[in-house]
Structure 1
Amino acid sequence: MTKHDPISLTTVSAGFIQDWLDALQSRCTSKEMKSLLERSGLQTSPMVPTQRITLEEIATLYQLAAPATGDEMMGLWSRPIRPRALQHLLTVQREASSMVSALFRFSTFWNLLLDDFRLDLRSKPDEVELALAPYSPDTKPQRFGHMLMLKLAHGLLSWLGGSETRVQEVRFAFARPDFAADYAVVFPCPVAFDAQDTSILFDPRHFDRPITRSPAEASAFLMRAPIDWIFTGSRAHTNSLRVRAFLYGETWQSCQLSDAAHALKITPRTLNRRLKDEGTSFQNIKDALRRDIAIRALQQGTASIEQIAFDTGFSAPSNFHRAFHKWTNRTPGSYRL
C-alpha cells in the first residue's frame, strides 16, 4: 500500500488493538513496553477506545515487538510462538498444489503449536471454512488473536494466488464490540459476531491456482509483515470500500451520495441500503476519509494546522479542532511527528 492509497490512509480505533496491547504486556516488563510504544509512535499513557491508530503504527509495533518478545504472536496465545515459526509456515505453504491444500497445511501447522484452540478445515463443494475451535468450552477467545489468525490465513492465500482472495464471510465467537466498524478495514466481506466458532469462509470456485513463490519472495513477505496481510487492499469486495476509493479519487468535499451511486452504477437508495447493511453510511465514510486525510497530513506533511483545517473542508480552525477532538479524543498538535 502506498502513501497515496485510500486504504493506507485508514486508521482504526485504539479499542481495536487494546487486546493485543494487554497480551503484549504479559511478555514485557513495563520499561520494555514503554520503549516499544514510544518507538512505534504510540502514546505510553492509557488510550481511550475512540482514539485513532494508523496502520503504520500498528505495523511498526508488530515489527518491533515480535523479535523483542521472542514470540511471533506476542502473547496472543497461551504458548509463545518461537522465532522463525512464520518463516517455516511460508516454506510449508509454498509447496501447496491448491488453495485447499494450502489451508490444510496452514491448519496442520498451527495445530502443532496451539494449546487452547485447534484449526478445523471444513470443506464442501461450494464452501470451505477454516474455524478456530476451543479444546475447552471455558476458553475465551482473544479478539485480536482470532482476527490475526484469520487474516494470516487470508493473507497467505492472497499471496499464493497473486491477488486478494475473495472471502464469503467472517464469523467471530465473541460479542459485537464497539469497534466493530474497524473490521471493514481488515476483511473485505460481511462480518458476524456471537458465532459458535471463529471462522473464515471461502467459495473454492473462486480460488486461484497457487503460483510458484521463491524463497526471496517469502522473505520479502515476512519483511513487510503484517501490513500486507492484516489490512485489506480491496477496492471492490464491499460497498463501503468502493465508496471510500471513489471519494478519494474525486473532489470528495463536494461529492454527494448520488455521485457515488452513479459511479457504482446503482441507485442512491440501493447504495444507502447496502451501506446500512454494512453498518455505515455515506456521511460516515466521508467523515472518516476527512479524519484520516487530516491525520496523515499532520503526521507527514509540513502544512500548518490552519491550512489542514481549510484543506479538509472546515471554514475555521476552531471548528476543525472541535471535530478532531471528537474523532480522536486528541488535539491535532498531538499527531505532529
Structure 2
Amino acid sequence: MSSSPLRGSSRAATPMAFVRAIVRGYERYGMDPAGALAEAQIPPHEIENPNARVTAAQFETLSGHAMQELDDEALGWFSRRLPWGTYGMLCRASNASPDLGVAIKRWCRHHRLLTEDITLDLDVADGLATLTITEHRDLGVFREFCLVSSLRFLHGYACWAIDSRVSLSAASFPFEAPPHRDAYPLMFGGELRFGADRARYSFDERYLAMPLLRDERALRTMLRRALPLTVLQYRRDRLLGQRVRELLRTRGPEAGNAESIAALLNLSTRTLHRQLQEEGMSLQTLKDEVRHELAAEQLRRTERPIKQIALAVGFRNEKSFSRAFRAWSGLTPGAFRRRDL
C-alpha cells in the first residue's frame, strides 16, 4: 500500500517534488520510470518543473505502479527494501489493538523491525499526543518525501482505524519551507513550523482512547487500493463537539461566532455545521450548554452580581440571561444561587 501526500481531489495539488522523489527511487534501483509515468499520465518533461502539480489520482497511480514494480513500498528511502505488502502487515499488526493509542504504539514498535534508518515514537504530555520521527542516517534526496509520507501513513491509518478525522493541532519539519509549502496545510492542518529539530505532529490525546472500528474484512478492502490511507477524506471528527466546547469555555472572546470557531479549528463554517449535525448536535446547543455551565459555576463559587455574570457569559442584559437560565435549569439565577448556599 501507499500514500498520497494530499487528500483525494480532481485538482492538481500534489507537488511535482514528490513525483521527482519517486523517479529518484527508480534511479536508485537502475530502473526506468517511463512506464509508471505513462500510466499516471505525467509528462516526463514536467518532472523538473518546480511549479508543476499532479492530481491525487495521478499520484495514486504512480505510487501504486512504482511500489509494485520496484518491490519497495519505501520507494528507495531506506537502506533496504520494504517489499510490497509491508505497510499492509503494519496495519494488520496494529489492527487487533483495543484502542488507537495501543495501535499507534504497536505501529511504532513494528516499524523498527523493518528499518533502523528512522524510528517513530509516541509521547503524551499536557493533553497532547505527539508522533515524532528520529532520523538515524542521511536520507539524502528522499528526505522530505520520506518524512512527510511516514507521518501521513500513520495519520491516515489512525483516521481509518477509528473512522474519524484525527485533527492535528501542529506539525513541524526539520527542513526549511520548500517552494511548495502551500501544499502542507492540505496535508497536515494545524499550526505548521519549518526548520524544527525533528519531524512530528501533535493531536488531542483523547483520540488515543477511541476504540478501533475496522475488522479484517474492512482491512482487506482497504488494502486492495494503492493509496487507501491518505486519499480518503474523513469529514467526521468524533471529538469535534468536545473541541468546540473547550474553545467556547477557554477562548470565548475569540470564539464568538461560527466563522471564528471554524477558523480556530481549520475548518470551513459549512463543514463545522455539517460535522456537528453528524454528531447529533448544533453549535447553538453547545453554546447554550457552555453558557449554562459557566454561569452555574460563577453563581455557585462567586459573589459577583448577576448582571456581571450575564455579561461575562455572553448575554447583553440581565433580563435575557435570567430568561435563558430559567429555561436551562428551571430556576432563576437568584434562586439557583440561594439553593446552593
TM-score class, shorter: 0.5 to 0.7
Q: Which amino acid aligns with 2:221?
A: A
SS at match of 1:219: helix
Deviates further, 118-127 or 108-117: 118-127
Check the 8 A contact 1:161/1:208 in 2, yes or no: no
Residue 170 of structure 1, CA deviation: 1.2
Check the 8 A contact 2:172/2:198 in 1, yes or no: yes
> What is the distance in 1 between the residues matched to 2:233 and 2:30?
29
> Does residue 37 of the first structure (1) align with residue 44 of the second (2)?
no
Structure 2 residues without counterparts, runs of 5 or longer? 1-6, 238-256, 267-341
Q: Which amino acid aligns with 1:128?
A: A
Structure 1 residues without counterparts, runs of 5 or longer? 1-5, 237-263, 279-337
Aligned to 1:189: 190
Check the 8 A contact 2:167/2:203 in 1, yes or no: yes
Q: Which amino acid aligns with 2:202?
A: L
SS at match of 1:142: helix
> What is the distance in 1 between the residues matched to 2:146 and 2:20?
11
Matches within 5 A, 1:47-196: 47-136=48-137, 142-196=143-197
Check the 8 A contact 1:20/1:76 in 2, yes or no: no
Q: Identity percentage over the alignment?
A: 20
Residue 96 of structure 1, CA deviation: 1.3
> What is the distance in 2 between the residues matched to 1:139 and 1:15?
15
Q: Cα gap change, 1:129/1:94 in structure 2, threshold over 3 Å: closer, same or farther?
A: same
> What is the distance in 1 between the residues matched to 2:232 and 2:18?
13
> What is the distance in 2 between the residues matched to 1:96 and 1:85?
18
Residue 67 of structure 1, CA deviation: 1.0
Residue 203 of structure 1, CA deviation: 1.4
Check the 8 A contact 1:10/1:185 in 2, yes or no: no
Check the 8 A contact 2:172/2:192 in 1, yes or no: yes
> What is the distance in 2 between the residues matched to 1:230 and 1:214?
20
Which structure 1 residue ranges, 4+ long, deviate > 4 Å from structure 2?
A: 138-141, 230-236
- Give per-residue Cα distances to partners, 1:111-137, cap 9 Å, x unaligned: 11122221122222511111111225x
SS at match of 1:57: helix
> What is the distance in 2 between the residues matched to 1:28 and 1:226?
25
> What is the distance in 2 between the residues matched to 1:8 and 1:156?
19
Residue 139 of structure 1, CA deviation: 5.6
Q: Which amino acid aligns with 1:115?
A: E
Deviates further, 7-16 or 190-199: 7-16
Q: Cα gap change, 1:22/1:230 in structure 2, threshold over 3 Å: closer, same or farther?
A: farther
> What is the distance in 2 between the residues matched to 1:179 and 1:223?
30
SS at match of 1:216: helix
Root-mean-square deviation over aligned CA pairs: 2.8
> What is the distance in 1 between the residues matched to 2:200 and 2:226?
22
SS at match of 1:224: coil
Check the 8 A contact 1:79/1:115 in 2, yes or no: no
Aligned to 2:312: none
Residue 194 of structure 1, CA deviation: 0.8
> What is the distance in 1 between the residues matched to 2:232 and 2:192?
15
> What is the distance in 1 between the residues matched to 2:10 and 2:204?
30
Q: Cα gap change, 1:185/1:235 in structure 2, threshold over 3 Å: closer, same or farther?
A: farther
SS at match of 1:11: coil
> What is the distance in 2 between the residues matched to 1:233 and 1:92?
23
Q: Which amino acid aligns with 2:225?
A: R
Check the 8 A contact 1:40/1:60 in 2, yes or no: yes
> What is the distance in 1 between the residues matched to 2:228 and 2:50?
22
SS at match of 2:218: helix
> What is the distance in 2 between the residues matched to 1:74 and 1:58?
13
Residue 175 of structure 1, CA deviation: 1.0
Residue 105 of structure 1, CA deviation: 0.6
Q: Which amino acid aligns with 1:19?
A: A
> What is the distance in 1 between the residues matched to 2:193 and 2:220?
34
Q: Cα gap change, 1:117/1:230 in structure 2, threshold over 3 Å: closer, same or farther?
A: farther
Deviates further, 117-126 or 221-230: 221-230
> What is the distance in 1 between the residues matched to 2:208 and 2:231?
19
